[in-house]
A and B are shown apart, each in its own frame.
Chain A
């Protein structure tokens, strides 16, 4: 019995020691042990979410993400071999020899960037080679890169990213990259696990929060058409010695913007080499007075209200004295007998004002507002200007006279293109869009083709008759812009040569020349709008923008395989004879 008791006592004592030790480990020192354990081979890595691509309408990349690495050096280790390493890197990765050499020899430093955002494959290959050559002190770190394969193609819309901050991550600076960052960026994940000699220990504790990759942004832009529009525009602006220019190509039926070109623009792969003013889209952020292109909106409104027809006879005087000033035409003439179609074909301001006299100022303002003027198109481009459409007390009879032929109101290019597109689309306004499907922009508004709205502005008949008048503009005899014709196709269009408002708010003697039109005229599929600011070669809407319109429209029609309709163009009389 005694032996048994002693045995139990011994066991109890041993167990008490165990319990005490357990209490110490788990209760009192647990945190320090946990820290020691965590420090021993535990690794936490950020699993970067892949940024979504920005694609054109055919899925071609306008901006894509690439696994990137940064190449870093420890100068204390590289100093001795600096010239050899610099020569090797300048050959392998195309780095600047002298800059690299300086960094490899930097005194009192243990960390130097040698190259950033280099595609991972190139850095890995270089490091492997450096290893075999015996170079020490080089390393790589994660540094996601963004590639813009098109360079300047659609750069005005796509925007660009700044150099990523090691802590804050990507840094979108402009364009869709910035507006739709929430959609593109995704959510970084993280993984925590135990590592022994570079290998993950199986069955050890590990936690993984999977990254959520960013979503791709599908735009309505057609990369090839966008490129072509940009090249034609650049040539046009350069040849006319203009300040800037822009092109809008819109699908008539859906309102999708197929190309939106700006010149000058920038190379998205090297954004900082361009002036700051070129880093956005002037087509969206700049407003200007549209000039005679606006006349087609006035005419469509007048016809829709039943006040005139294309055959309405107008006697156009050499000049028109109005309340506070004299209205001139762009060409000197005596008394002209023009039909309404003739007024459009010859782009007569006086004729337009006389025709618009039949309509009240407010009614005209309402029509123009319905055409989308004075309101932002809200297609997802930040910094869009709404334009200026006088209303209320600002809409005096004198203002209305000038609005009728496109002065004293200002628009952005997409607004104007969408307004002309309304005539092409049988009188129904289609809200333009730049994003396929739908996406939430930075401001919280949802934009895209899914959100497209339409409303009727003028009757189908009014739109058709306006189209017939616009067809006379490109007629070699009747019209002022034969250069805008597209061989084989029926084209309806309108020139514009508007005075530009200078810095001080006055007309400064420079011009905005433009051409807007659509084809095939009797079954419109595409609307193209070309604007050149301040041409210095003395050209107007017909001679500067017209040929550019013709080229871009011709290319787009071929590109989309739209055949000519084969019907005869309109022969509306432009003049009338007294009986």
Chain B
């Protein structure tokens, strides 16, 4: 009658022993030593110091660049001002009036007529004969006229000839009034 109970009781401690045996922890020998904190601290320090230093250097170089930029800008302004004044000098030297006066001093004159060399067939177009003598080109204005009071009184001698003028370069009547050369008649109202 008690046998099943004995059987159970005898089985339980066995299970307990097993689980106790299983559960009992044993000290395992260390495979590595304790982890050092130094590398991490170093890394952080290096990062921090590096960051600060590079920020400083960056800032310094920015400032340096700013100085250089200001210097260069000033230099550019000076140079462009000089270039402009040289350009101005050049334009003054190229002024046709100055060139003409220089050429005149060197004894150069304007041609009255010129020939043409035709490049297609190598023929020469001779300049035409110059019939009208051309006076030299006056490069400077005439001095302002003297006041009337300084001019000697004119003596007019009536000579019977005609003076040049009118629509022709030969002769035209000058004795009569000059009106009506193109106009319809003597002084009259306008249209």
Name A's B-contacting residues (CB within 8 A): 60-61, 64, 66-67, 119-122, 124, 147, 149-151, 153, 198-203, 223-224, 227-228, 231-232, 234-235, 238, 291-292, 322, 325-332, 347, 349, 390, 394, 398-399, 401-402, 405-408, 476, 480-483, 485-489, 495-499, 501, 505-507, 509, 511, 537-543, 546-547, 550-551, 554-555, 558, 561, 563-564, 566
**Are the C-beta atoms of A234 and B116 separated by less than 8 Å?**
no
Q: Which of B142-167 contact A (CB under 8 A)?
A: 142, 163-167
Contacts of A292 in B (CB 8 A): 167, 182
A67 to B80, CA, bound (A): 8
Q: Using Cβ atoms and an 8 Å threshold, which residues of chain B touch A543?
A: 164-166, 168-169
> Which residues of B in the span 77-113 have a Cβ within 8 Å of any Cβ on A?
77-78, 80-82, 84-85, 87-88, 91-92, 94-97, 100, 110-113
A499 and B182 contact, Cβ closer than 8 Å, known pairs A67-B84, A124-B78, A547-B132 = yes
Out of A120, A198, A496, A538, which one reaches B165, CB within 8 Å? Answer: A538
Q: How far is the CA of A550 from the CA of B135 in the complex (A)?
A: 12
Interface assignment of B19: CB less than 8 Å from any CB of chain A: no
Q: Is B137 in contact with chain A by the CB < 8 A criterion?
A: yes
B55 to chain A, nearest CB (A): 12
A506 to B101, CA, bound (A): 44
Contact B172 A331, beta carbon cutoff 8 Å = yes
B6-14, B20-28, B35-43, B183-191: which lies at the A interface? Answer: B183-191
Tell me the dominant secondary structure on chain A's binding face: mixed
Question: CB distance B168 to A507 under 8 Å?
Answer: no
A291 contacts across to B, CB distance below 8 A: 182
A67 touches B81 (CB 8 A): yes
Cα A407 to Cα B164 with chains together (Å): 24
Q: Would you call A550 and B132 a contact (CB within 8 A)? A: yes
Assembly CA distance A482 to B168 (angstroms): 8
A295 to B: closest C-beta gap in Å = 9
A-B contact pairs, 25 of them (CB 8 A): A67-B77, A120-B81, A121-B84, A150-B95, A151-B97, A153-B96, A227-B100, A228-B96, A238-B142, A326-B185, A328-B185, A330-B167, A330-B180, A332-B173, A405-B182, A481-B168, A482-B169, A485-B132, A487-B128, A499-B182, A506-B187, A540-B167, A540-B181, A547-B132, A563-B125
B1 at the interface (CB under 8 A from A): no
Contact B173 A331 (CB under 8 A): yes
Assess whether B121 is interfacial by the CB under 8 Å rule: no
Asked, given contacts A224-B96, A543-B165, A563-B118, whether A149 binds B88 with beta carbons under 8 Å apart, the answer is: yes
Min CB–CB distance A550 → chain B (angstroms): 7
Could you say which residues of chain B place their CB within 8 Å of the CB of A199? 63, 66-67, 70
Chain A positions within 8 Å of B112 at CB level? 487, 554
Least distance between A325 CB and chain B CB atoms (Å): 5
> Inside 8 A of A486's CB, which chain B residues have their CB?
113, 128
In the assembly, what is the distance between CA of A476 and CA of B132, in Å? 11
Q: Which residue of B lies closest to A388 (CB)?
A: B191
For residue A118, give the distance in angstroms from its CB to the closest CB of chain B: 10
Q: Are A408 and B191 in contact (CB under 8 A)?
A: yes
Interface contact B110-A555, CB-CB below 8 Å: yes
B168 touching A505, Cβ below 8 Å: no
Contact at A488–B165, with CB atoms within 8 Å?
Answer: no
Q: How far is the CA of A200 from the CA of B70 in the complex (A)?
A: 7
Query: B138 on the interface (CB 8 Å rule)?
Result: yes
Say yes or no: is B31 at the interface (Cβ < 8 Å to chain A): no
Contact between chains at B91 and A231 (CB < 8 Å)? no
Which of A121, A199, A480, A546 has the most B CB atoms < 10 Å from its CB? A121
Chain A neighbourhood of B125, CB < 8 A: 488, 563-564, 566
Q: Is B2 an interface residue (CB 8 A)?
A: no
A280 to B95: give the CA distance in the assembly, Å.
21
CA separation between A509 and B128, bound complex, in Å? 39
Distance, CA A485 to CA B134, complexed state (A) = 12
The 5 closest A-B pairs by CB, nearest first: A488-B128, A330-B181, A149-B91, A120-B81, A487-B128
Q: Which residues of A contact B97 (CB under 8 A)?
A: 150-151, 153, 227
B95 touches A482 (CB 8 A): no
Known contacts: A199-B67, A347-B167, A540-B166. The answer to whether A149 contacts B178 by CB under 8 A is no
A476 to B182, CA, bound (A): 21
Contacts of B78 in A (CB 8 A): 121, 124
Cβ of B62 < 8 Å from any Cβ of A? yes
